[in-house]
Amino acid sequence: MTALEECLQSMNAIYRADPENAVRSQKFIMELHKYIQADLQSRLTKKAKRRGIEVLLEKTVLGSHKSKDVDVGIYDPVNGPLMMIGVRSQMSSVGKNVLTYYQDIVGECISLQDRYPMATYGYCYLMPLNPINGAKKKETITHGRFARMYDAISGRSGKAYRDITGVYDEFAYLVVDFDQAPPALRDDIVLASVPGVDLSVTTFVDRLVARHVSRNLFWEIFESDEYVGV
């Protein structure tokens, strides 16, 4: 079983045991935080580790107007944030809250990019294929629409990338079928709505590393240079 499969299986067990507590305590989403953290940590060079560069969870940093707890981030002890990643799940009441969260996601991006324009930014958003929480199972989630929304705020690129705010470098949209055993990732649904666009969590860290490497050719903090610059 892959690390991602283990992560999703653990999330499934935590949520089904007590849906309300799983969300409020953040035990559910923290599994995804730790999965991304471990993947990034495994990529750091020995030189980067000796320098004191770390992959940390829930570190408080200053944005343009207020502080923000960054879900997953890579930090240099002298130069500050090098990469910052937001992670969110929405297991029910999607139609009711998704636009408010969308606004928050964009605002968070703008605030951090204003202060740290050269950092690499990612966002990882998980939704179930269908709700698994009691009466809310009747809710229909329009994944195609949401895939297009997240594609619209992803892909900060070009030589003038530092002037772009409100757009993430890379985005991952996970549609997960928690009724399967083990839970199944439904990237096919996302691809059907945004053909040719990669929003898969399976390539998320690869894409973030490639983006960072392409902008920091003078400073090798990752183990492999095999990724194609973007």
What pLDDT score was predicted for residue 43?
96
Pairing of strands 120-128, 170-177: parallel
9 burial (CB, 10 Å; 0-12 / 13-18 / 19+) is: middle
Task: Fill in the DSSP letter of residue 164.
Answer: -
The pLDDT tens digits for 157-212 are 999 999 999 999 999 999 999 999 999 999 999 999 999 999 999 999 999 999 99
Domains of the chain: 3-215 (3.40.91)
Average pLDDT over residues 46-75: 96
d(CA 192, CA 116): 34
58: helix, strand or coil: strand
d(CA 209, CA 222): 8
